[in-house]
Amino acid sequence: MDPETTAVDRGGRPPVGRRHAAVVAVVVAYALVAALTRPLTGAALVAVLVAGAPLCWAGVRRRPLRAEPVGARSAAVWLGVGGLAGAFELGVLLGPDDAAHPTLSTLADPALSTYPGRVIGYLLWVGAGLWLVSR
Amino acid sequence: MTPREAIIAGFAAILVLAIATDLLSRRDGSGVRPFPATLAAALSSRGGRIVILGAWLWLGWHFLAR
């Protein structure tokens, strides 16, 4: 007898492989539909919130996995890299608002203005969100 | 070099710095943990989860919806 079928028949949760496949299918379907929305529209905002709000809610409510402490040095190094990136982006953002001084999102606009680019963008974003929530 | 080229070079340099830091942190004896391990540690507290998931939601809005 198929062990996967047996597990479901016993009333337990579907096997991990089947659950992962279902999650991947849902994420791909979501990205394909969400990418149909155009940036700067209410539909695009709804598309982000449809996935973002439940994932944030689940991630905050979920009991975190036990993670090995990383120490102050690691925290300082990665906060430094993140702070540098944030300060650079902020500096560009507060500078002249023209094509000669593009922010990171302005640079990403050509890719995200195409349907395939937006599908990839949504896949990466939701994939990152699922990873964060699962920690 | 135009201001635009300088800004693009700046973003590229920060990306290279982040990748290099992560690769170096994976070497034996490194005192720094890789980025995913550091992020996972930050996510182990309620406050860390709120901040990081909030940043993730903002990134989605900023790049995909705004």
Selected residue of A77, A98, A119 to mutate for chain B interface (largest B Cβ count, 10 A): A77
In this prediction, residue A1 carries a pLDDT of: 46
B63 and B40 housed in the same domain: yes
Structure tokens at B2: 């135009």
Domain count, chain B: 2
Question: Could you tell me the residue range of the domain that residue B64 belongs to?
Answer: 33-66
Rounded alpha-carbon distances, angstroms, from residue A128 to A20, A121, B6, B56: 15, 11, 29, 8
Count the domains in chain A.
Answer: 1
Reference A8, options A128, A61, B26, A17; nearest CA is A17
Give the model's pLDDT for residue A11: 57
Spans of chain A, pLDDT less than 70: 1-12
Q: What confidence score (pLDDT) does residue A67 get?
A: 82
pLDDT for B45 beyond 70: yes
**Same domain assignment for residues B27 and B37:** no
B37 and B26: one domain? no
> Does B65 lie in the same domain as B41?
yes
The single-letter DSSP state of residue A14 is P
Task: Give pLDDT tens digits for B5-29.
Answer: 999 999 999 999 999 999 999 999 8
Query: Most A CBs within 10 Å: which of B24, B26, B27, B63, as the mutation test of the A interface?
Result: B63
Q: Is residue B40 located within the same domain as residue B65?
A: yes
The pTM score is: 0.84
Residues B66 and B38 in one domain: yes
Write down the ipTM of this complex: 0.89
